[in-house]
Amino acid sequence: MAMTQSGLVADALTARTGRAVELVGVTTEGDVSKALLAQIGGTGVFVNGLRERLLDGEIDFAVHSLKDLPTGPADGITLAAVPPRDDPRDALCGPAKLADLRRGARIGTGSPRRVAQLRALRPDLDVVPIRGNADTRLRKVTDGEVDAVVLAYAGLNRIGRLDAVSEIFEPDQMLPAPGQGALAIECRADRDDLIELLAILDDAPTRAAVTAERALLATLEAGCSAPVGAYAAWEDQIVHLTGAVVGYDGERQIRLSESGSPDESERLGRDLALRMLAEGADQLMGESTS
C-alpha cells in the first residue's frame, strides 16, 4: 500500500513538473509488528521511521496516509502538500451487506472506531481484532477465519481490490477516521526548494477539510485507541464538519456538526471538539479505552 501511494505521488509530481522521482522503501515498526496499533504506540509507528530518514537527509520527502499522521507538530518537518482526497468512506468486505450477515457474524477490524460503530449498527456482531495489510485481512475472509472485514475504500481502490467490497458505509452510518482517504507529503522545514516544488500537489479543499478533522482530534486529545470519527465536506466554499465519539459497546455516542469558512478550518474543528467535550466526550472516551 505504502509503495503504491508513494508511486501515485511520484507520478503526479513528475507529470506536473517533469522532475524524476526515485522511490525508496522504508520499513517501519507499524509494518512489522503483529500487535494491535493501540498497543504499539499509536499512529506514529507508521511515521517516525520515515521522519528520521527525512531529518538525516536520506530521503527528500515522505508520503504517508494522512490518518496515520500524529496531530502534534514534528520538529524540523513540515506538511508540504495534501493532494486531492480519495473516497474517505469505510467498506465492508465479505459475502453480503452488513444487514444480511448471519446473527453473531465475526467481523474483523483493528480499529476501535470501527468496532464501536459496528456495534452501534449491529449489536449482535462478534467484532474481533485483526492486523496485517489489506490482502492479509481479505484472506482471513476467504479462509473462513472471519465472516467479513472493514477496510478503507480508498486503500482498496489503490491496490485494485474493489472486487472484494460488498458494501460502502456512508458517513451517517460510519464516520471515517480523521484524514482518511487523504495523503500527506512531508519534507524538512528548511528545504524551501522542496516546499515550493511540492506545493504544486497541494489541494486547498482537501487541506481545509482534513485540517478541521485533525483539529477536532487534537482538541479531544484522542489517539488511535479512542473511537473518534470525523468528516469534513466542502460545499459552496463552506466546510461542514461532523464529529462523533462512540462508546465501545456502541450503545452511546456523541455526534455533533458545525460549519464554517475554509480559512477557519482549524477553529472549526477545535470549537466542535469543545462542544463534544461539554457533552461528556472525554468520559465516553475514557470508558471506551479503560
Neighbours of 46 (CB within 10 A): 21
CB atoms within 10 A of CB 256: 17
Report pLDDT digits (tens) over 76-89. Answer: 999 999 999 999 99
Quote the CA–CA distance of 122 and 212 in Å, as a whole number: 29
pLDDT at 35: 47
* pLDDT in single tens digits along all 290 residues of the chain: 888 999 999 999 999 999 999 999 777 554 444 545 444 445 566 798 899 999 999 999 999 999 989 998 899 999 999 999 999 999 999 999 999 999 999 999 999 999 999 999 999 999 999 988 999 999 999 999 999 999 999 999 999 999 999 999 999 999 999 999 999 999 999 999 999 999 999 999 999 999 999 999 999 987 666 799 999 999 889 999 999 999 988 999 999 999 999 999 999 999 999 999 999 999 888 776 55
* Complete DSSP assignment for 116-182: HHHHHH-TT-EEE---S-HHHHHHHHHTTSSSEEEEEHHHHHHTT-GGGEEEEE-TTTSPPPTTTT-
Which one is catalytic: 31, 60, 68, 90? 68
Task: Establish whether 11 is a catalytic residue.
Answer: no
- The HSE-up count of residue 48 (CA atoms within 13 Å, CB side) is 10
Q: How far is CA 274 from CA 70, 210, 277, 280, in A?
A: 20, 18, 5, 10
pLDDT digits (tens, 9 = 90+) for 6-53: 999 999 999 999 999 999 977 755 444 454 544 444 556 679 889 999
